[in-house]
Structure formats: structure tokens, C-alpha cells
Amino acid sequence: MLRLGDLEAAVMDVLWSAAAPLRVREVMGRIDPARPLAYTTVMTVLDNLHTKGLADRDRDGRAYAYRAAKSRSELGAELLREVLNTSGDPERVLLHFAQSATPEESQFLRRAARKAQR
């Protein structure tokens, strides 16, 4: 199952909020870590995200420029699909979720169900 560590999630937040692809140093400059990060640490995280299919990269001189390969909502939908596929009982999981949903979430679900019927 795909899970993001704290630093991976922080890097993805930076990529999702960027208007253009970013080099490693630019990503470093936008992360607010609890402790200073080494350039190689951020580079490794970006490489891992690329390997996982979450970040795309293009050559930018001698370095790479990275961008999110999927939107936050696309990744969320993939994670939900993975949970349902591995749950053994997707109907029961969905029913439990629906029963625990907030009124706002229930409204979202009803709206999505109506769109899916069209």
C-alpha cells in the first residue's frame, strides 16, 4: 500500500502548490522542516517520489526539475481505491464510511452519486 512519510508528504505539498517545475534547492527553500535538511536528503526524497510515480522530472541543465505527476485529489482517489480493493469487503467499508460521515461529507457523497448516475 502506498504511504507517504512525513518528508515525502511535505515535498508533495510543495510540488502541488508550485506553478512550475522546481529544482531540488527550490523545493528545499519551500519546506519548513523541524530540523535543517541536507540537499541529498531532499534529492533522495524527490527521486523516490519519481520512482513511485508521484513526481515527474525533466532535465534542467545538469539537474532535474520536478512537478507533481498526479493532483492531490487523484492520489486520494487512488488511495481510496487501494483500500477498497484490499479490504476484502468493499461494500462493508463503504457502508461504515457512509455511517461515520459528517453532514458535509454526506452531502458530497450524495452529489457524487447523482453525477455518477448521469
**Tens digit of each residue's pLDDT (9 = 90 or more) over 49-97:** 999 999 999 999 999 999 999 999 999 989 889 999 999 999 999 899 8
Contact criterion met (CB below 8 Å) for 74 and 52: no
Domain count, the chain: 2
Q: Domain check: are 112 and 76 in the same one?
A: yes
Angle between helices 39-51 and 6-17 (to 10 degrees): 80
pTM above 0.95, yes or no: no
Q: Are residues 76 and 98 in the same domain?
A: yes
CATH number of domain containing 51: 1.10.10.10
Residue 17 lies in a domain: yes
Q: Are residues 91 and 45 in the same domain?
A: no
Phi and psi angles of residue 42, each rounded to the nearest 5 degrees, phi first: -65, -40
The CA distance from 22 to 28, in Å, is 10
In the chain, % helix, strand, coil (3-state, to 5) comes to: 60, 10, 25
